[in-house]
Amino acid sequence: MKNVLIFNLLLVISTLYAQNDIKADNLLNKVSQKIDQSKSYKIDFTYTLENKLEGINQDSKGSVIIKEDSYVLNFMGISQICDSKYIYTIVDENEEVIISTVDDEDEQTIKPSQLLNFYRTGYLLLWDRLEINNKDKIQFIKLIPIDSNSEISHLLLGIDISDYNISKLVEIGKNKTKTILKVNSITYNPLINEKTFLFDKSKYENYYIENL
């Protein structure tokens, strides 16, 4: 009987720890409501790669326009156009275009089209620190991958509690590499040309085009 009681107690404790923090859930629900009310987004961001052991600290700026599963990404001199089925990676420096399917993408990578809603599945959510910068109050939610084989140790998702916008995403790898995606600005429902997400081959007549 004593062993049964101990087992039941451990089961209850493990269940409690496996549940999302209610405060974290409530905050992300407010973020989700704002996202779900919008059909498209334009985000200007700064991406930082940091590994103190290797002495790496690099900043790069970029922008992305997202509408459903389609997007246009400009980052580190490379452009990507995704029409929801195919991804066209354009490297102007090499005069090269690489065409791949969306299914070829690494499942553990947060895709641009999922940038504002990736957190909805696959993570345990925990309330974390509050960061105050001047007038900005950023509440962080800690996301721990449910998949134990993930190369990610955890994520920290910063939410501006004044307007419920995503402000920062910090990814901590199991190899101690840290990547930071800081949202400099976000525009909801921007005007988007209907051809924005279409790849126009005629613009790249002199480019080498590779189909993966």
Is the pLDDT at 123 greater than 50, yes or no? yes
Q: Is 206 helix (H, G, I), strand (E, B) or coil?
A: coil
Side-by-side strand order, sheet with 86-91: 123-133, 136-145, 152-160, 165-173, 178-188, 40-51, 56-67, 70-75, 78-82, 86-91, 96-101, 208-211
Cα–Cα dist 7/13, whole Å: 10
Q: Which CATH class is domain 20-211?
A: mainly beta
Q: Where are the domains of the chain?
A: 20-211
> What local confidence, expressed as pLDDT, does residue 194 receive?
83
> Which residue is it, tokens 């916008």?
165
Summarised one tens digit per residue, pLDDT across range 80-112 is 999 989 999 999 999 999 999 987 665 556 677
> What local confidence, expressed as pLDDT, does residue 16 receive?
39
Summarised one tens digit per residue, pLDDT across range 20-39 is 789 999 999 999 988 889 99
Predicted confidence band at 13 (pLDDT cuts at 50, 70, 90)? very low
Is the pLDDT at 3 greater than 70, yes or no? no
Which range has the worst mean pLDDT, 45-49, 110-114, 139-143?
110-114
Q: What is the pTM of this model?
A: 0.81
Cα–Cα dist 151/141, whole Å: 19
> What local confidence, expressed as pLDDT, does residue 69 receive?
87
> What rounded mean pLDDT belongs to the chain?
86
Q: How large is the average pLDDT for residues 181-190?
A: 94
Q: How large is the average pLDDT for residues 36-62?
A: 89
Q: Which is higher by pLDDT, 19 or 72?
A: 72
Is the pLDDT at 18 greater than 70, yes or no? no
> What local confidence, expressed as pLDDT, does residue 209 receive?
94
Cα–Cα dist 131/115, whole Å: 21
